Amino acid sequence: MKRIKFFNQILKNINYMIEMTCTRVPVQLIDRQTQFGNTRKLDLSECIFVFKSSKSDYEEPLSDEEVDLKPLREATIAVPTPKISEKRKAEEADASKDLKKAKLETKALKAKRPGFTDERYNETSYYVENGLRKVYPYYFTFTTFTKGRWVGEKILEVFAREFRAHPAEEYERCIRAGTLTVNYQKVDVDYRLRHNDLLANVVHRHEVPVTSEPITVIHMDEDVVVVNKPASIPVHPCGRYRHNTVVFILAKEYNLKNLRTIHRLDRLTSGILLFGRTPKKARQMEHQIRNRQVHKQYVCRVEGEFPEEEVVCSEPIEVVSYKIGVCKISEKGKDCVTRFKRLSYNGKSSVVLCKPQTGRMHQIRVHLQYLGYPVVNDPLYNHVVFGPEKGKGGNIGKTDQELVRDLISIHNAENWLGMDGDSEMSLFKPKLDMEDRVSLSNDKDVASSPSSTPGLAEEEQQQQQQQQQQEQQSSKVTVGTQTGSEPPDSSFTNDKMTVDPHCYECKVKYRDPKPSDLVMYLHAWRYCGPGWEYETPLPAWAASDWAEEER
């Protein structure tokens, strides 16, 4: 009661003061804090005061009696969590531990750029045949985590649909034999995939051959290695390529290990390739490329007579499918600009200097396709799969789904130049067309004869051998001469050729790619940035008087 009387007295005093103020002569006050910065006069007689009474969380008792103060708000009721059995806790702990171990192992491999050890490099070795660098077959474990769209599906159905390397029967055999596992554990063919399941498939791996042309060094110091990459060799392991990559070849044959890739080139594109030898230098040059401080110049040979004046193409490019690596001109795409200038014309094709101002996927090739002057031997963008005009003016005449479907039916995955085979389709080795393989009569032929050129004429084989001899006799400056580590003997050794009775690829013999399949007339010629510039010799096909041989 004393507190109530006290508050009532305060209210009376406030009301009295208001009444006294309103009966006096109006007083004008100055408000100098308006939002417009000007002054404003206030008249208290024109002001309205509103007093609002409020209650606290506790009500005052209505009498002098002692009353316990009770809160008006309801107290929060704690709901006990259900108890988890010890068995379930142990199972979840073990599963979490195994999954964490698998993830740590995967991250450890990715943490080391490029992420390989001597044990990995020594998995197999090379041999040279018919002008091609080949890899002896070896055992390898493919790993991947379950993708969202696979969750809830049977493991056999996923492999039969997603990975077309083998028929479903072969995957069923692998699952039952325990070479195809989930979280390193053998499972049943009816096992349904869960989130974060780690799939591992042990295979007898056969890599695709690449050119035996040596990698030449442009510049090398303590911070940077700059090489001239031959066509047909991917930069780093991807898809069907692992040891037959620039990163592996430099490490295995020239002891240039732990190189950090600064940028990439398509598999069939030749030219300048930059590697960082220190993390600091790699980050610095990556930053320069990302901020467009690096000026790039490419040279290519295109079909037809390219205009003499400079041509600027600024059409946006959209990725149609990351899975197979194909792009097109689209309003939905990303902005990009390429400048073109003709260097020469031989009556059939033109040599063009290309200056990309941005770095979109397949930018030069897609822009040339749009202009109607595709690269002469581009197996992807110089193809009628893009329509009768081969995509000129962006006219394809089919939906993205139809385009992807047609590309899959026409090309082998290793011939696509999009992601260098680095796609979901090629993770467990994509299926090859029957015309690209010839069945063997028995397994002995596989081990005794490494040659795989039944479709090549004798004259063509002789030309390849002559070309190989010329390359060996030439006085090129290779990475080996720069590092003092010459490549090992690359002659074929029958003892190194392994055969797996369950390996599907051991039972077939593949045709060697023709020389025309190993090169695309697109070359990274010159790169220059703040305080540095590197340039390679121009390839033979870039000469003004060059004439293409009949294929």
Tell me, yes or no, whether 226 and 320 share the same domain: no
Q: Say if pTM beats, i.e. exceeds, 0.85.
A: no
Share of the chain above pLDDT 70, in %: 66
Does residue 103 surpass a pLDDT of 80?
Answer: no
493/125 Cα distance (integer angstroms) = 10
Strand partners, 351: 301, 344
What tokens does 116 get?
A: 């390989």
- pLDDT at res. 355: 97
- pLDDT at res. 116: 73
452/439 Cα distance (integer angstroms) = 11
Does residue 235 surpass a pLDDT of 50?
Answer: yes
What tokens does 328 get?
A: 């097109």
In a domain, 427, yes or no: no
Helical H runs in 70-228? 86-111, 118-121, 155-162, 168-177
Q: What is the pLDDT of residues 495-537, one digit of tens each?
A: 899 999 888 788 887 788 887 789 999 999 999 999 999 999 9
Tell me, yes or no, whether 239 and 139 share the same domain: no
Domain boundary among 275, 291, 307: 291
Kindly state the average pLDDT of the residues 93-118.
Answer: 54
Does residue 443 surpass a pLDDT of 80?
Answer: no
In a domain, 77, yes or no: no
Measured from the Cβ of residue 420, the count of other Cβ atoms closer than 10 Å reads: 26
Tell me, yes or no, whether 400 and 520 share the same domain: yes
Total domain count, the chain = 3
Strand partners, 238: 241
In a domain, 25, yes or no: no
Residue 375 near residue 381 (C-beta atoms within 8 A)? yes
Domain boundary among 208, 225, 259: 208
Kindly state the average pLDDT of the residues 250-258.
Answer: 91
Tell me, yes or no, whether 127 and 271 share the same domain: no
Does residue 206 surpass a pLDDT of 60?
Answer: yes
- pLDDT at res. 424: 37
Among 266, 378, 422, 512, which one carries the catalytic annotation? 266
Q: What is the pLDDT of residues 381-404, one digit of tens each?
A: 999 999 999 999 999 999 999 999
285/262 Cα distance (integer angstroms) = 7
The DSSP line for 178-236 is TSEEETTB---TTPBP-TT-EEEEEEEE-PPPEE-PPPEEEEE-SSEEEEEEPTT--SS
The answer to whether 266 is a known catalytic residue is yes
Where does the pLDDT of residue 87 fall: very low under 50, low under 70, confident under 90, or very high at 90 and above?
low
Q: Which domain holds residue 321?
A: 295-416+516-525
Tell me, yes or no, whether 282 and 376 share the same domain: no
pLDDT mean across residues, the chain: 77
73/56 Cα distance (integer angstroms) = 11
Q: Per this entry, what is the length of the chain?
A: 551
Tell me, yes or no, whether 192 and 250 share the same domain: no
CATH number at residue 250: 3.30.2350.10
Residue 449 near residue 428 (C-beta atoms within 8 A)? no
Where does the pLDDT of residue 43 fall: very low under 50, low under 70, confident under 90, or very high at 90 and above?
low
Where does the pLDDT of residue 353 fall: very low under 50, low under 70, confident under 90, or very high at 90 and above?
very high
In a domain, 24, yes or no: no
For residue 451, give the 3-state DSSP assignment: coil
- pLDDT at res. 26: 47
Kindly state the average pLDDT of the residues 446-460.
Answer: 41
11/51 Cα distance (integer angstroms) = 10
In Å, what is the CA distance from 340 to each residue of 15, 355, 374, 394, 486?
Answer: 86, 6, 13, 18, 40
Amino acid present at 422: D
- pLDDT at res. 98: 54
Tell me, yes or no, whether 368 and 287 share the same domain: no
Residue 344 near residue 350 (C-beta atoms within 8 A)? yes
The DSSP line for 384-426 is GGGTTTTTGGG---S-HHHHHHHHHHHS-GGG--SSTT-SSTT
Domain boundary among 291, 322, 356: 291
